Amino acid sequence: MKKQERLSRTEVLARLRRHAGAMGFISHATLAGRDNLLLRSIPLHFAGLSAARQAAGVAGPPYRKPSRKTGPKPGTKSSTPRTITWSRERVLDELRRIGRAGRSTALRDLMAAGRTTLVRAASVFAGGLRNARRLAGVEAPRRRGSKKHTWTREMIVPAIRARHRARKSLAASRVPQNLYGASRRHYGSWRVALAAADIDPSTVRAGIKYTKQVIIERLRRAARSGSDLLSTSLAKVVDLKAVRREFGRLELAIRAAGLIEVLQRRRHGGRKWDGARVIEVLRERAARGVHTFTPGLRRAVQVYLGGAREARIAAGVPDPASIRRAFRARDRTPTQDFPRLGLAPLQIASPGIVTAMQPQRNRGGIVRRFCS
């Protein structure tokens, strides 16, 4: 490749002075096309054309006024708002100006007026809006309290009787809380206020008081109607919180009701989860062709056997992925090649349920027996 010609520093300065004498000034526009060698040589010796002009002592192009105005017209707003540089003094001055104009300096009003930057600057430079108002000598805005209904003793009894005539509930948990609080404040309790209104407090109870006898009766009634006495079923007929309060556990309540035979009729007999029961359930479900987990079984698998894969290996049952692969291999393999590959035709009792399968070697060479 041919080496490009270049000028020395002395030659660059001499050419710049000669060019300035002919053109009156030096610029990229005057050099381009007239002395490209000079343009290529300037970056080799100077930081730029401006530094080269300064070293040669020549002038640059004169200032030219733009042909049309580029800024906003007088009296109009700029399209790009000017960035405000905040400081502690500027925050205080702005708060004083707002206060002199008679406008509110409350946080809610400033945010509604779009003065978010002022609020943020007050937090950064003055320790918060309240402290900034104090430093600026601006009066703090008055608190806007909500309208409160002031209950007197004479107003409570007519209000209770009005609810009673309208057939609205007078239970302590159902009445408006301001009426309930005023009744306790003026009468001492809600029962005394009801008595002052000539209403029997025992007739306005919101629900049944769950004693041990009531819970036992409801459990027996549910058992006679065919309930399995599971918590999900009993939640519709009895308050489970009251059961735990009175008996500690639902099982103890069922035993107190003499319904232990109902627990024994369940498939698991009320047993708690453990490793042996997990394996037993997995094998029982696999025999029915069900290889997925219920939420309770999934939690027990994680707790007692460390995960789904380990649980299936311990129980000797296949996983759904292996069954899907076996189905695909059966579909792709001709029937006459089954004995050579160690496969047997799948016996399917119903769609999607595998009941028997011979051992199959997977990709890693491990022989896994699926179902027997």
Question: Exposure pattern of 176-194 as b/e (b: 16+ CB <10 Å)?
Answer: eeebbebbeebbeebbebb
Q: By the 8 A CB rule, do 229 and 260 touch?
A: no
| CB-based contacts of 309, cutoff 8 Å, min separation 6 | 319
Q: Which domain holds residue 183?
A: 153-203
CA distance 38 to 271: 97
Q: Name the strand (E) or helix (H) holding 161.
A: helix 153-165
Query: Is the residue at 304 inside a domain?
Result: yes
Name the token pair of 182: 């005023």
Query: Is the residue at 182 inside a domain?
Result: yes
Query: Is the residue at 292 inside a domain?
Result: yes
What pLDDT is stored for residue 36 in this prediction?
84
What pLDDT is stored for residue 4 in this prediction?
67
Strand ranges (DSSP E) for the chain?
347-350, 353-356, 360-361, 367-368
Query: Is the residue at 145 inside a domain?
Result: no
What pLDDT is stored for residue 353 in this prediction?
38
3-class DSSP string for 15-61: HHHHHHHHHCCCCHHHHCCCCHHHHHHHHHHCCCHHHHHHHHCCCCC
Give per-residue pLDDT as tens, 64-123: 777 766 666 666 666 665 666 888 899 999 999 998 998 888 888 888 888 888 988 898
Query: Is the residue at 81 inside a domain?
Result: no
Query: Is the residue at 40 inside a domain?
Result: yes
Number of domains in the chain: 6
Query: Is the residue at 61 inside a domain?
Result: no
pLDDT means per 10 residues, the chain with 372 residues, are: 75 89 86 83 86 88 74 64 78 91 88 87 88 90 66 90 88 82 89 90 72 89 81 81 86 87 61 82 88 82 84 89 78 54 44 39 41 36
DSSP for residue 345: P
Give per-residue pLDDT as tens, 181-194: 889 889 988 889 99
Query: Is the residue at 117 inside a domain?
Result: yes
Furthest-apart CA atoms within the chain: distance in Å: 120
What pLDDT is stored for residue 94 in this prediction?
92
> Is this prediction's pTM over 0.75?
no
